[in-house]
Amino acid sequence: MIFKSYAKINLYLDVVGKRDDGYHDILSVFQSISLYDLMTIDEKKGKDVSFFSNDPSLKWDKGNLIFRAYEAFFDTLNLPRIGLRITLKKRIPKGCGFGGGSSNAGVILLHLGRRFGVDLKDLERIAMDLGSDVKYFLHGGTAIVKGKGDEVELVEDITGYSVNLKIPNLSFRTKDMYRKISCFLNKNHRKGRDPLHLLQALRKVDPDGIRSNVFNIFENVILLENPQLSALLENPHGIVSSFTGKGPAVFTLLHGESGRYRFVSKIEYSSQGM
């Protein structure tokens, strides 16, 4: 069976505090886009997994979120393991803020959940032990995400837009970026931007309202240390440009042709960051 494992962008991303468990509480608007990895999952005899990928850095070990999702599913639910042949064709750039690994983990959990008739709520509990974004990827679409990623409020899907994605030649470690933003956390750092106002503006196709409310708290840190990336935010033909996740990838939001697009994406690779 072949599955599309979709990427996401953060139309809005704020960090509202640090938790006792080491995670940070966020307030974000997640949006699925048409960029995806291809995952082929077939059952085979035995109880082992054969894993293949066009990304040679991905092995069948704890560094691979698909491996961790597979192990967590059977360990948590105490179900008999099955053998799988998994082929992953990576198309989503790694370490750029698109959630590709979390999306892959979501796909394998959903597949195993259907195979064994497991309730979605049980899959969500497993997902939360894997990573902050994985629970969202069990659903996709447009969502307001809070807490450490465990509070996912699905809202009516936004449509009528496309995005251009700009991928610089560098990547950031998530832990490092969260550590660096602490000095930017204060009551005025949002500058009046609001995720609910953003969603309203997107539905009304209000460019000024969209520009006034798109927000990513990591932008200041990214540009402070990598000022050359400011060129990626220039968007003479788009509504607005912003970083996604903790960066460094940038999306430019555009009107969809005849309002029919559901965040169709186009990728441009950039030498910025070299």
Helix, strand or coil, per DSSP, at residue 15: strand
For residue 225, what are the contacts with CB-CB under 8 A and spacing of at least 6? 180
3-state secondary structure 30-48: EEEEEEEEEEEEEEECCCC
Q: Which residues are catalytic?
A: 8, 133
Structure tokens at 122: 């049980």
Query: Other CB atoms closer than 10 Å to residue 106's CB: what's the count?
Result: 29
Q: Say how far apart CA 23 and CA 223 lie, in whole Å.
A: 24
Could you tell me whether strands 24-44 and 49-53 are parallel, antiparallel, or unpaired per DSSP bridges? unpaired
Closest CA to 170 of 225, 109, 99, 133: 225
CB 120 within 8 A of CB 267: no
Half-sphere exposure for 36 (CA within 13 Å, toward CB) = 17
Distance CA 10, CA 268 (A): 18
**The residue to which tokens 């033909």 are assigned:** 237
Task: Select from 190, 248, 187, 186 the least CA-distant residue to 217.
Answer: 190
Instruction: Evaluate whether 168 touches 232 at the Cβ level (below 8 Å).
Output: yes
The letter for the amino acid at 107 is: V
